[in-house]
Amino acid sequence: MKMRFLAGLVGLAISFSVPVLAREKDTVDPQMAEQIRAFYQKFDEEFNKGDAAGVAAFYTGDAVYVTPHGTFSGRQAIQKSYAEYSFRQWHSHNQDTKVDRITAVGNEIRSIGKWSCNFQDQAGNADHIEGHYSSVLIRDGDSWKIRKDTYSEFAPKSQASAQGVGATELVN
């Protein structure tokens, strides 16, 4: 009886330690984390210029961009998406990306965090929106490029309460 209990306890300890060791192996060094944060700072600078081509240059040629407005494949389609939704339809500006977690998985970097920006609709109404993102980046020479990018958007809690919607409800 004691032997089965001990074997079960050892098995349980191993099952908890393997994921911890795997996570430690996949964390990035501080210099790489700094590079990724600088990458998003440059991304935000191009976004805030309203430059769809400049923003699309941060993506690989075969990148996939998943948004509440649709899925866009390839740099050209991504550029068109930014030009249409972010800059023509919504006049987005003051984008700020906060990187929460960076993980190395093989030759890729997974970056997860939050973003926020202000926008003005075609009727001239100004507002603020926030969301979460998840990206897969790969090395391209001396720089990084986004291979897959997914984001969600939601109204901040203060606005959601005023509008009577949930803070995590998607804004369309």
**Residues of the chain under the 50 pLDDT cut:** 3-26, 160-172
- Domains in the chain: ranges and CATH: 29-163 (3.10.450.50)
Tell me what pLDDT residue 25 has. Answer: 39
* pTM metric for this prediction: 0.75
For residue 133, give the H/E element and its range: strand 126-140
Sheet containing 70-73, strands listed edge to edge, beginning at the edge strand earlier in sequence: 70-73, 59-67, 143-151, 126-140, 108-120, 93-105
- HSE, side-chain direction, 13 A CA sphere, residue 43: 23
Tell me whether strands 143-151 and 59-67 are parallel, antiparallel or unpaired: parallel
Tell me what pLDDT residue 55 has. Answer: 97
Tell me what pLDDT residue 43 has. Answer: 96
For residue 65, which of 50, 51, 78 has the smallest C-alpha distance?
Answer: 78
